[in-house]
């Protein structure tokens, strides 16, 4: 929460300085013809300080509108098939990974380190670092990246948590049967008392890591090393969580899909043409923004119809 607060403050202060301080040149994220037309707008765009919170409903609507389309049927089928294939070997891969983890101090230390790198705190820290640098250097792109990282993590995290609370899958290290027990729509009191017994599927670590990498590489396409480095770290996080028994390998395909989807949604907001016209029309019906009244402060939600 402290890192998220730092990000909000830095974006707010950076936004306030836009009218008086010249920003550093911003390299557009776009490389194709349609995005090139929008490059000037991309250079100027900085989210409002509250956007990483207030845009969440729009992000969920955009995800729903884009995920379940006819052209995505092959992708959905791929996620389903890969998950099913990994389910069939989950118990064997977990037993092998556990032996590797317990027999090698080097593997144990490395696995513990990379497991930590996927738990959200490093990602929020990176978001705060981008926002802080953007404020100090008057760099709009860094401010935007910091905001979008936090936005993507929050939007993706809510969906992941909903799915975890629905599927109720045991983590490997305390599984009571091969492949772990699935308790669909578990008792929520028991869930919160014994979280590892219910929250394996899908992997939030993988989703958080990939959504962060996606936002960064979309904002900094000239960083040729960011994509291979980021994907390598995501892969090592996945292997490490298999070693430590936090996740089964079949928890990853859906986590990867969610992470990439929300990273792209956050990195290509509607203001930059990230939506087709019909999607923009749909999403514009829903808005949420901070509001202060004599009775107190809060958020105002508006739906136009």
pLDDT in tens, 270-293: 644 444 433 443 444 445 455 555
137-190 tens-digit pLDDT:
999 999 999 999 999 999 999 999 999 999 999 999 999 999 999 999 999 999
Q: 220: Cβ–Cβ under 8 A, 6 or more apart, which residues?
A: 27, 29, 141, 145, 226
Q: Render pLDDT for 84-137 as a digit per residue (tens, 0 to 9).
A: 999 999 999 999 999 999 999 999 999 999 999 998 999 999 999 999 999 999
- Please tell me the distance from the alpha carbon of residue 266 to that of residue 214, in angstroms, as a whole number: 9
Q: How many secondary structure helices (H) and strands (E) does the chain include? A: 14, 2
> Residue 170 in contact with residue 197, Cβ under 8 Å?
yes
Enumerate domains of the chain plus CATH numbers.
2-18+39-303 (1.20.144)
C-alpha–C-alpha distance, residues 246 and 262, integer Å: 23
Do 152 and 214 form a contact (C-beta atoms < 8 A)?
yes
Percentage, residues of the chain above pLDDT 90: 67
Rounded Cα gap, residues 216 and 235, in angstroms: 17
Using pLDDT thresholds of 50, 70 and 90, give the confidence band for residue 42.
low
Q: How far apart are CA 302 and CA 305, in angstroms?
A: 10
- Tokens read off for 214: 């996606």
pLDDT of the residue at 189: 95
pTM of the model: 0.79
- Answer whether the bond into residue 202 is a cis peptide, omega within 30°: yes
Nearest C-alpha neighbor of 11 from the set 125, 156, 130: 130
- Average pLDDT across the chain, whole number: 82
β-bridge pairing 286-293 and 296-303: antiparallel
Q: What is the pLDDT of residue 48?
A: 82
What pLDDT shows up at residue 273? 41
Strands (E) located in the chain: 286-293, 296-303
Read off the pLDDT of residues 248-264 as tens digits, 9 standing for 90 and up.
999 999 999 999 999 99
- Cβ atoms within 10 A of the Cβ of 108, count? 16
Residue 128 Cα distances to 71, 82, 122, angstroms:
36, 35, 10
């Amino acid at each position: 929460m402290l890192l998220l607060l730092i990000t909000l403050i830095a974006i707010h202060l950076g936004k306030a300085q836009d009218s008086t301080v010249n920003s550093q040149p911003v390299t557009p994220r776009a490389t194709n013809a349609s995005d090139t037309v929008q490059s000037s707008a991309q250079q100027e765009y900085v989210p409002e300080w509250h956007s990483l919170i207030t845009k969440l409903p729009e992000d969920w609507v955009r995800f729903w509108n884009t995920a379940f389309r006819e052209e995505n049927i092959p992708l959905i089928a791929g996620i389903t098939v890969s998950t099913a294939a990994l389910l069939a070997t989950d118990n064997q891969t977990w037993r092998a990974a556990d032996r590797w983890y317990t027999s090698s101090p080097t593997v144990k230390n490395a696995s513990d380190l990379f497991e930590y790198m996927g738990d959200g705190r490093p990602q929020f820290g990176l978001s705060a670092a981008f926002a802080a640098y953007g404020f100090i250097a008057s760099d709009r792109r860094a401010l935007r990246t910091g905001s979008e990282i936090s936005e993507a993590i929050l939007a993706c995290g809510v969906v992941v948590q909903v799915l975890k609370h629905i599927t109720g899958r045991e983590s490997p290290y305390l599984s009571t049967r091969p492949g772990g027990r699935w308790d669909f729509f578990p008792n929520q009191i028991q869930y919160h008392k014994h979280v590892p017994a219910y929250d394996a599927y899908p992997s939030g670590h993988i989703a958080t890591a990939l959504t962060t990498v996606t936002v960064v590489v979309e904002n900094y396409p000239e960083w040729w090393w960011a994509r291979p480095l980021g994907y390598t770290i995501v892969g090592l996080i996945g292997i490490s969580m298999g070693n430590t028994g936090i996740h089964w390998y079949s928890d990853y395909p859906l986590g990867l899909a969610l992470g990439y989807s929300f990273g792209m949604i956050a990195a290509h907001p509607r203001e930059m043409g990230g939506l087709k016209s019909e999607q923009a029309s749909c999403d514009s019906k829903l808005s949420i923004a901070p509001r202060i009244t004599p009775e107190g402060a809060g958020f105002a939600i508006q739906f136009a119809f």
